[in-house]
Chains A and B, each alone.
Chain A
Amino acid sequence: MKNLKRVLAIVMVTALSLSILAACGGGGKKSNDYALLSKSTGNPYMEKQAEGFKEAVAEFEGNAIVKFPANPTAEDQIAMITELVSQGVAGIAVAANDYDALEPALKEATKKGVKVISLDSSVNPASRLTHVNQADPVAIGVSLVEAAFDLTGGSGQFAILSATSTASNQNTWIENMKKTLEDPKYADLELVKVAYGDDLRDKSVSETEALLQTYPDLKCIVAPTTVGIAAAAKVITDNGLVDTIAVTGLGLPSEMAEYMVEGGACPYMFLWNPIDVGYLAGHTLKAMVDEKATGKVGDKFEAGRLGSMEVVDATSGDGGTEVLLGDPFKFDLDNIGEWKSVY
């Protein structure tokens, strides 16, 4: 028995060292691999972002690696960062599942010479060179409040249906909405509740139903998340309330096309082009890797079909820098038809 254990131990050590010997070598020359670390798998928004990233990397003849973690968690992303660093990639663009949690992992990567930027949802300034921001959060806040103002006719109750209570993007946008609401222009507009649908269909639906039951005078629901806005629109449509309650927010055209029709629940909504976000991230990463830009304010670089881009102070005010894609894009009944098949 004891002997056997000893033998086993010896075999184990030999096998391990053999396999390691077999694996020696490799590495050396400068890498041409550009990695995109997405938020989660099976999400069309993320897929489109990856598509744009690949397009950009193909333009400068790099090799694109795209990773989608199985779960939308920081833990999965940390493991994937290790894998990417082991492969010796030139740069990583990450759409973070957590603002702070990736910091040690990304710093470790930076130490090994990997250039790190974030896109879509940022990591903290200490762990990134710069951030590719899809749209100015202040502009998003203003647009959404303005939409609520418009759809309620200037006064009345409205509610927000968000993703999870810890989603940093959504929280920033809601924060900016609240700031905008302080303007006396919106004095008659009452934000009654911020509900969280956790980006789950069933929970978003029951939260919307609860809003309808609790606030019978509700005039508008603003959902700054793709699952939430579709769920809210579905509930409003099913309950025949399209004439009394309007839905708006940030949504995928393909998901919302059903409700953005004449007499539908959602007259208009906003988003940006995720393909462009990914595309810009690809070129930004290239500029960082080639050291044409270092992520300092005022750095300028060429971003393919998007033209010249400039690094600016982060609009979120976190003290870091960012590259801003532009203002949120408005989808309405006129243009939804052409966009619904794009993403």
Chain B
Amino acid sequence: MNKIAAKLPSAGQDSFVRKYLMRWEAILFLILIIVNVFNAIISPYYNFTGILGATRDFMDKTFIVFPMAMVILIGEIDISVAATVALSSVMMGVTYNAGNGVPMVVAILIGIGTATLCGFINGLVLTKFKELSPMIVTLATQTMYRGLAYVILEDQAAGSFPGWFQYFGWGSIGPVPFILICFVVCAVIFTLIINKTKFGRRIYAIGNNREASRFSGIKVEKTRLIIYTLVGFMAGITAIFLTSRMSSTRPNIALMYELDIISMVVLGGISTSGGKGRISGAIISIFIVGLLKYGLGLVNISSQVLMIIIGLLLVISVMTPNVAGKFKEARRQRMLHDKLSIQQK
């Protein structure tokens, strides 16, 4: 330890700071602590049981955050996720209500299957027509999927699910909500996939340089197809939890979820230009946004102010490191300039 310290003068310290403490995840983590402390100060009702209960309210959509992080890591985007959730949930509902005593398990599987198919279709179109931008394709499929949900269910609701189905959204093991446990399991699995597997490395490679990774033998289109299908699959999981929470379904559920999900991913430091960012950041930002909303909700801040706060949080947190970087760059330039002018003298 001493040796290292002796070896590394100021430059080394700088790199340590930059490597760990200045890392985006660390800053996010600090923000999370601040949010917690702040919430605890403003509301007497902010306690552990409350937090655990509140996770139920913002966890449903977060299952899509993981595959969305992959999509954004390869420099693309999927806007159709909320519509996929709706279509999947509607399929689940109509299958169960179709009569003839269809078991709920079958309905759930059909729901997941529908969602996976939706994701697969996105992937298929995008890989068959490589020049199409993901934004416009998923914009179109979003209208299609939501439209199909309306075609299927029209102005009706589907529901009266069996009692055990409510366990997904409302059950808990001890004090810990079931949905939170599922979230943690998914978080671990996806963190491992992205950080430890070949597939994960491929995602970063594609995001950093698509052409180069194509030449180096990575099956870019196959990877993209898998990722979009995965988004669909996880949208199916979200549909289960959301449907269970509402114990019924309608074509207009999960409205605007896509923007919430994308916000969480980019707040987590995953850049929409691809290749940069870590999944851990996205996980922390899920809790930042969720707990901030809950905490401010406890003191009944108006939702209008809350909108502004969330918007500013997103913009400022992403901008601050950039601006700080610019200042540093400017200072470096100035110092370089000074040095040069001294040498010239």
Please determine if A and B sit in direct contact within the complex, based on CB atoms under 8 angstroms apart. yes
A86 and B248 contact, CB distance less than 8 A: no
B306 and A70 contact, CB distance less than 8 A: yes
| Residues in B whose Cβ lies below 8 Å from that of A254 | none
Q: Which residue of B lies closest to A194 (CB)?
A: B155
B40 and A22 contact, CB distance less than 8 A: yes
B44 and A68 contact, CB distance less than 8 A: no
| Residues in A whose Cβ lies below 8 Å from that of B303 | 41, 67-70, 76
| Residues in A whose Cβ lies below 8 Å from that of B208 | none
Query: Would you call B317 an interface residue if the criterion is a C-beta within 8 Å of the partner chain's C-beta atoms?
Result: no
A165 and B155 contact, CB distance less than 8 A: yes
Q: When A12-B29, A104-B170 are in contact, do A80 and B297 touch as well, CB less than 8 Å? A: yes
Of A86, A98, A108, chain B has the most CB atoms within 10 Å of the CB of: A86
Query: Would you call B304 an interface residue if the criterion is a C-beta within 8 Å of the partner chain's C-beta atoms?
Result: yes
A166 and B250 contact, CB distance less than 8 A: yes
Query: Would you call B199 an interface residue if the criterion is a C-beta within 8 Å of the partner chain's C-beta atoms?
Result: no
Least distance between A198 CB and chain B CB atoms (Å) = 10
Which one, A23-31, A183-191, A264-272, is touching chain B? A23-31
A26 and B44 contact, CB distance less than 8 A: yes
Of A16, A65, A80, A83, chain B has the most CB atoms within 10 Å of the CB of: A83
| Residues in B whose Cβ lies below 8 Å from that of A41 | 302-304
Least distance between B253 CB and chain A CB atoms (Å) = 7
| Residues in A whose Cβ lies below 8 Å from that of B50 | 86
Task: Determine the distance from Cα of A41 to Cα of B51 in the docked complex, in whole angstroms.
Answer: 25
Query: Would you call A274 an interface residue if the criterion is a C-beta within 8 Å of the partner chain's C-beta atoms?
Result: no
Q: Which residue of A lies closest to B157 (CB)?
A: A100
Task: Determine the distance from Cα of A103 to Cα of B170 in the docked complex, in whole angstroms.
Answer: 12
Which residue of A19, A69, A105 contacts B36 across the interface (Cβ within 8 Å)? A19
Least distance between B37 CB and chain A CB atoms (Å) = 5
A75 and B253 contact, CB distance less than 8 A: yes
Q: When A15-B33, A41-B303, A171-B155 are in contact, do A82 and B56 touch as well, CB less than 8 Å? A: yes
Q: Chain A 64-100, CB within 8 Å of chain B: the 1/0 string?
A: 0111111101111011101100111000000000111
Query: Would you call A317 an interface residue if the criterion is a C-beta within 8 Å of the partner chain's C-beta atoms?
Result: no
Least distance between A28 CB and chain B CB atoms (Å) = 11
| Residues in B whose Cβ lies below 8 Å from that of A74 | 246, 253
Task: Determine the distance from Cα of A166 to Cα of B298 in the docked complex, in whole angstroms.
Answer: 30
B47 and A20 contact, CB distance less than 8 A: yes
Inter-chain CB contacts under 8 Å: number: 131
Q: When A104-B169, A108-B170 are in contact, do A42 and B304 touch as well, CB less than 8 Å? A: yes
Q: When A4-B20, A88-B45, A165-B154 are in contact, do A83 and B248 touch as well, CB less than 8 Å? A: no
Which residue of A11, A20, A76, A82 contacts B54 across the interface (Cβ within 8 Å)? A82
Task: Determine the distance from Cα of A86 to Cα of B40 in the docked complex, in whole angstroms.
Answer: 13
Task: Determine the distance from Cα of A104 to Cα of B294 in the docked complex, in whole angstroms.
Answer: 19
B45 and A87 contact, CB distance less than 8 A: yes
Which residue of B58, B253, B298, B302 contacts A87 across the interface (Cβ within 8 Å)? B298
B56 and A65 contact, CB distance less than 8 A: no
Interface of chain B residues 274 through 326 with chain A (CB within 8 A): 293-294, 297-298, 300, 302-304, 306-307
B300 and A65 contact, CB distance less than 8 A: yes
Task: Determine the distance from Cα of A74 to Cα of B249 in the docked complex, in whole angstroms.
Answer: 10
B53 and A86 contact, CB distance less than 8 A: yes
Which residue of A11, A26, A98 contacts B250 across the interface (Cβ within 8 Å)? A98
Q: When A70-B306, A79-B58, A165-B155 are in contact, do A101 and B247 touch as well, CB less than 8 Å? A: yes
| Residues in A whose Cβ lies below 8 Å from that of B51 | 20
Task: Determine the distance from Cα of A79 to Cα of B47 in the docked complex, in whole angstroms.
Answer: 16
Query: Would you call B255 an interface residue if the criterion is a C-beta within 8 Å of the partner chain's C-beta atoms?
Result: yes
Least distance between B77 CB and chain A CB atoms (Å) = 21
Query: Would you call B190 an interface residue if the criterion is a C-beta within 8 Å of the partner chain's C-beta atoms?
Result: no
Least distance between A247 CB and chain B CB atoms (Å) = 23
Task: Determine the distance from Cα of A41 to Cα of B303 in the docked complex, in whole angstroms.
Answer: 8
| Residues in B whose Cβ lies below 8 Å from that of A105 | 245
B304 and A70 contact, CB distance less than 8 A: yes
Interface of chain B residues 150 through 178 with chain A (CB within 8 A): 150, 154-155, 157, 159, 166, 169-170
Task: Determine the distance from Cα of A137 to Cα of B251 in the docked complex, in whole angstroms.
Answer: 25
Q: When A75-B253, A165-B150 are in contact, do A82 and B57 touch as well, CB less than 8 Å? A: yes
Task: Determine the distance from Cα of A12 to Cα of B33 in the docked complex, in whole angstroms.
Answer: 8
Binding site for B on A (CB under 8 A): 4, 8, 11-12, 15-16, 19-20, 22-27, 41-42, 65-71, 73-76, 78-80, 82-83, 86-88, 98-105, 108, 164-166, 171
Binding site for A on B (CB under 8 A): 20, 26, 29, 33, 36-37, 39-41, 43-48, 50-51, 53-54, 56-58, 150, 154-155, 157, 159, 166, 169-170, 242, 245-248, 250-256, 293-294, 297-298, 300, 302-304, 306-307
**Would you mind naming 23 contact pairs between A and B with Cβ atoms under 8 Å apart?**
A8-B29, A20-B51, A23-B39, A23-B48, A26-B45, A27-B44, A41-B303, A68-B302, A71-B256, A74-B246, A75-B246, A78-B245, A79-B58, A82-B53, A83-B297, A83-B298, A83-B300, A86-B53, A100-B248, A101-B248, A101-B253, A108-B170, A166-B250
Closest 6 pairs (CB-CB, A-B):
A101-B246, A26-B44, A100-B248, A83-B297, A23-B40, A70-B303
List 13 other contacts, CB 8 Å, given A67-B303, A70-B303, A79-B58: A12-B29, A15-B36, A22-B37, A22-B41, A67-B300, A70-B307, A78-B245, A83-B298, A100-B248, A101-B248, A104-B166, A166-B252, A171-B155
